[in-house]
Structure 1
Amino acid sequence: MSVEVRVFRLGQCPREELDRYLRKTGEAGPYHSISWLEAIEKAYRHPGRVIAAYRNDEVCGVLPLVMIKPPFIRPQLISLPFCDYGGPVADDDTIREQLLAAAKKLKSKEGINSAEIRVRSPAGESDTWTTGEKVRMILSLPGSSQALFASFKPKLRSQIRKAEKNGLVCNIGMEEELLRRFYNVFCDNMRRLGSPVHSLSFFQALRAAYGPRMVVAVVDLDGLPVGAGIVLLGNEEACIPWASTLAEYNHLAPNMLLYWRLLEWVSDSGATTFDFGRSSFGEGTFRFKKQWGARPEALRWHQLDKASDLDNPIVVPSDLKFRIRQWIVAGWQCLPLDLANWLGPKIRRYISL
């Protein structure tokens, strides 16, 4: 039975039809939603593209893509930027290959310099890891927050209670005010880490696109936001792309209360999986996520080139690149916060990580 592959600009794609397919397949995660493309195009004006496969006029595969064109540089095609994964979602491997072949044609037609496909490997694909390797950390949820809390080790439960005893309070919702409070913490943390910050308009666009499938959590101490995070929902899966705390309050354990309240909320909302996001195997954030019971799963980022569809995994930067990055980070940390917040979004929109 023949398969027809169609390429859509974001504004012309059959949104409801594609999202309906993505919702019914267990392969798609929250980032695969057309909402992710909408938010990026609205906030950063990076054009979205959707490659869809049809069999008997029924969708049988989807590959979301974003075109990023930095000044004076040929554009790059990515599935997907600003998150851990994207890649093709399809009924079978043959259709998946057809979607990737169509992406190669689009790359050539548009004069695009490179195309990057970010995929998450199936659970259990690998049991061996290398220190520093990029993985995502996944926690299976037992069906209720009560059962989840009972599954934690006593030390973890005591750390959560410690945060509450320290007077911290966590609010979860979808209001604009919560989003702005999140952004204040996020900006401070990103400057401390030496990284350009996303624009507030990007998060506002995500909120508009995802609606009730996005929630914001803010941890307060006497009315001051000291920790915050955002969770996206889709296909009984929850992911947390951004979480931040103010370093000077970390001794009060705001991160423990933040993650617990979000885990509690998504568990009681019907999610069966919680994606803690990308970490370097064996390092600090990896260990933090592991204590919640999360397990590593591989992330494979590949260049789509002339040789084959997925044959060039992204490699670890050289020592020289690593040192240059350290210098940039150190310089950014020295910037006044207002300057970093003004300049950051102008740079961040072109950094696809």
Structure 2
Amino acid sequence: MTPPPTLSFQLATISQQDEWDRYVSTHEQATAYHKFAWLLAVKNAYGHAISGVIARETQTNEVVGVFPAILMKTPIIGRQLCSLPYCDVGYPVADSSEVVSEMQRFLESQQIKHNSQNFEIRDVAETPSEKTHLQHKKVRMLLPLPQSSEVLLASFKSKLRSQVRKAEKNGLEVKLGCSQQLVADFYGVYTRNMRDLGSPVHAKKWFEQIVEAYADSSIISVIYKGDTPIGAGLVIKNGKHASIPWASTLREFNPLAPNMMLYWSLLAHCADSGITEFDFGRSTFEEGTYRFKKQWGATPQLLNWKKLDKNNQYVREKEHNQAPSKLRPLIENIWRKLPLGLTITTGSVIRPYISL
């Protein structure tokens, strides 16, 4: 009987980026967030430590699994281990469930070593066939893409196709790329939209580092009314998978349908670039953003975020999914009324320590 392979585990370093990315580029469960670029952007933008694990089969030295993670040092709260911050997913990918279990045990030992207060794993779960079980749950919306934008457009209902064309008829234009000007235009739309939503923003350097780390595996789309940027989105890619972490439009221009042109431009780009799955990101089942993503044909996958305390015990669900603070609506309302420049400055200071 052949003995089971001997495994070795270590915290990944920047020198191992190429072999890390070779592994995740071919793993069917890996997302764009699993690329080493996400870890690198977090480190370079915000200074948090890379704590991703790379697993090898000892005899061959072949990579058999990776577990992306970041050790965040947060004022007052202390250290927190997160897989992964600032996005929806960061679960481990490996050749087997045994490798996954061993990598998690390795990270749990790191949690104790660094006195981390908790360890959060942003995983996914099998989506229940009975949709009533999804009520009030967080899901990510996934859309299979055909081999070309032409085929994709033909698959849409006539109403959706007319909405896509509406933006063009209203005189809107789109530019795609990763130039510094597009990053700046994206950031201008993003910061105004987040202020209007009452939410703190990332620093501009965060997006600059994402574009630098992902390079050709990233794309920005900006929608213009004349010379004014009114909509923008950022997509990152890994193999045949693409995700859109951020998309924004200026609400006063929404009657012109910039959001339809924005998403279509990115979906078309991905379909024509060999992407076969597009991740629209997180939504609450049957709420507004869910319905917007559903109209494109996307279907839900249940998110399963888990948290371990400093004793490596899972936090009970009723503790992990606490009701929102009653102060939140008040704080959001105050934030919306602040000058834009102040929200950017303040948000850039506090956002590195908010893992959502």
Q: How many residues align?
A: 349
* Candidates 81, 86, 111, aligned match of 1:107: 111
Residue 345 (structure 1) shift: 1.0
> 2:9·2:103 contact (CA, 8 Å) conserved in 1?
no
How far 1:25 moved relative to its partner? 1.1
Distance 1:347 1:109 in 2: 26
Aligned match of 1:66: 70
1:236 has 2:240 as partner: yes
Relative distance call for 1:324 and 1:342 in structure 2 (3 A) is: same
Deviation at 1:53, TM superposition (A): 1.4
Report how far residue 31 of structure 1 moved: 0.2
Are residues 126 and 311 of structure 1, via their aligned partners in 2, closer, same or farther at CA, if it must alter by over 3 Å?
A: farther
Contact 1:134 1:281 in 2 (8 A): yes
**Contact 2:20 / 2:66 at 8 angstroms: preserved in 1?**
yes
**1:216 maps to which residue?**
220
Counterpart amino acid of residue 349 in structure 2? K
- Is 1:161 the counterpart of 2:171 in the alignment? no
SS of 2:53's partner is: strand
1:87-166 matches, within 5 Å, as 87-121=91-125, 126-128=129-131, 129-166=133-170
TM-score of the superposed pair, with normalisation by structure 2: 0.94
CA-to-aligned-CA distance 1:245-272 (integer Å, 9 cap, x gap)? 0010001010000000110110000000
2:74 is paired with a residue of what secondary structure?
Answer: coil
> Which amino acid is 1:77 matched to?
L
- Match of residue 50 from structure 2: 48
Give the letter for the 1:272 counterpart: T
Q: Specify the SS of the correspondent of 2:167.
A: helix
Partner Cα distance (2:263, 2:75) in 1: 38
Structure 1, unaligned runs of 5 or more: none
CA distance in 2, matches of 1:205, 1:3: 37
Aligned partners of 2:245, 2:152: CA distance in 1, in Å?
A: 21
Whichever residue aligns with residue 345 of structure 1, its letter is: S
**Rounded Cα–Cα distance in structure 2 between residues aligned with 1:327 and 1:22:** 42
CA deviation after TM superposition for structure 1 residue 316, in Å: 3.3
Indicate the SS of the match to 1:14: helix
SS in 1 for 2:325: helix
1:24 Cα deviation after fit: 1.8
Instruction: Choose which of 12, 33, 36 in structure 2 pairs with 1:34.
Output: 36
Q: Which residue of 2 aligns with 1:3?
A: 6
Local SS of the residue matching 2:263: helix
- Residue identity in the other structure for 1:204: E
1:14 aligned to which of 13, 16, 23: 16
**What is the Cα deviation at residue 125 of structure 1?**
5.5
Deviations 1:209-231 (CA, angstroms, capped at 9, x unpaired) = 00000000000001110000000
User: Structure 1 residues 286 and 297, CA, compared in 2 at 3 Å: closer, same or farther?
Assistant: same
Aligned pair partner of 1:331 in 329, 334, 338: 334
Seq. identity, %: 43
SS at match of 1:322: coil
CA shift for structure 1 position 132: 2.3
Post-superposition Cα deviations, 1:131-186, rounded to whole Å, max 9, x if no partner, equal 32100000011111011101101110111111110001111111111110000000
Contact kept? 2:108, 2:312, Cα under 8 Å: no
| Distance of 2:240 and 2:41 partners within structure 1 | 21
Checking the alignment, whether the CA contact within 8 Å between 1:10 and 1:47 is kept in structure 2 is: no
Residue 316 (structure 1) aligned to one of 300, 312, 321? 321
Cα distance, 1:311 vs. partner?
7.3
Q: 1:314 Cα shift?
A: 7.3
Structure 1 length-normalised TM? 0.95
Secondary structure at 1:86's aligned position in 2? coil
**1:99-149: per-residue Cα shift (whole Å, max 9, x none)?**
111111000011110000011235x55543433210000001111101110
Q: Which runs of 5+ in 2 are unaligned?
A: none
